[in-house]
Amino acid sequence: MELEAGLVVGGRYRLERQLGQGGMGEVWAAQHAVTRRRLALKFLSGPVAPSAEARRRFLREARAASAVEHPNVVAIHDVFEVEDGTLLMVMDLLEGETLGQRLRRDRELPLEVAARLLLPVVSAVGTAHERGIVHRDLKPDNIFIAREAGAERVKVLDFGIAKLFSAEPGRAGLTGAGAMLGTPCYMAPEQAGGEADIDHRADEWAIGVILYEALSGGRPIEGENVGQVLTRLLRDGIPPIRALVPDLPEDVALVIGRLLSKERADRPDDLREVAAVLAAHCDDGAPSFGAPGARPIEEVSAEPASRTVVVRPRRWGRAWVWAAALVALVGVALAGSRWLARTAPEPAVPPAASSLAPLPQPASLGAAPPRSREAFPEAESPGPPASARVASRIRTAPSATPSSSAMVSPVVPGAPDAAVAPVRSAKPGGLVEDPPF
């Protein structure tokens, strides 16, 4: 995307002039078309398309800076994509210079000035630690001295490689083991070594380097290239600052020495100790903050933003959706029950006659096949008299059930056995009155 003065971006921001340019982006002064408010627009662009990691870093900066909510952290107002997919961040427009520019011009600062400029930095970074965020790239060029209404206000910039940390073991951050992120001269030994468990004490080291440089005019570790800086950082010791600034107060020298301890455990537990020392040497105050991780925020995924602004649905809208789904479910259930009622077969209605209705005649039941002695082996042996057998059958006969397809008649004493056909007698032409069993 070709940026030029007068171009309206996103339908509402008119570009005025370029403020800066780097390998991966540009910063422009712009004015809102409706409110006329002047803002800074940071574009993620360059000669080649930005990688997915660059896009994640860009979005991470906006989210981390917004999560800190501190007056000394540059405010992020909006992040979105323009028509061609370029990511854009809308920030406060700052007029002034960076601490790096001032140190390159003045070389070193009096203790009162250094304390006044760095106390807001300590407060802002301490607040980030309280929210569970590690900046990981603190340096003079990321500390902006803005001129507002004739006074100076310090702003911390570039949370692009910020990381969420936690005391819980095994919780991964936004970068993996072996990644070396930051500016070598301001990196802590564990950060330069690519350790994965970087926490708030890496920022403490960087603040110690910045204080050392602002008060002495030189960094504690110097080198002609990255390799020399890393080698000296991991191998050599740190010259005491009082060897360079003999009249430096003892409390300041001690706190700087603790900040620059190579062992993390020897550094301060948090930045409140540093804030107290700096506040004792200047007249300005700074917002207080708590211990690291006291108010952690949830880790968020840094996926590329959509070109469409996503608005959270109102709670009552979601409730209407659930209510409509419940009504539809009840309607389906009622319709299903009515359909089943129409298609179900009519239940069998038992006859109104009592259970003592007259028995059907044997002829209506049909003739049963003749029964031979082989079918009734019990007839070979003498048994109880016929009257006892009939009484036994009366006791064990099943009762009629209305749901049966055929009504079973009870056995009535004195009536012939309708379930057994007469058996022929051995005498020619004769019939036996009683069955042979």
Return the structure tokens found at 391.
């009484």
Identity of residue 337: S
Angle at 399 (CA atoms; ends 393, 402), nearest 5 degrees = 155
Alpha-carbon dihedral angle through residues 187, 192, 195, 201, given to the nearest 10 degrees: -20
Identity of residue 226: V
Say how far apart CA 242 and CA 248 lie, in whole Å.
6
Q: For 149-241, where are the E strands, in sequence order?
A: 151-156, 163-164
Dmax over CA atoms of the chain, in Å, equals 151
**Residue 284 burial (10 A CB sphere; 0-12, 13-18, 19+):** middle
- How many C-beta atoms lie closer than 10 Å to residue 361's C-beta? 8
Task: Look up 236 and say whether it is catalytic.
Answer: no
Q: Are 68 and 295 in contact (CB under 8 A)?
A: no
Those residues whose C-beta lies under 8 Å from the C-beta of residue 241, and which sit 6 or more positions away, are 212, 215, 216, 220, 248, 253, 256, 257
Phi, psi of 116 (to 5 degrees): -65, -35
Phi, psi of 78 (to 5 degrees): -165, 150
Nearest Cα to 402, choosing from 345, 353, 342? Answer: 353
**Catalytic-role residue among 78, 84, 137, 199:** 137
Q: Are 3 and 28 in contact (CB under 8 A)?
A: yes
Q: Are 27 and 144 in contact (CB under 8 A)?
A: no
Q: Are 21 and 106 in contact (CB under 8 A)?
A: no
Residues with active-site annotation: 137
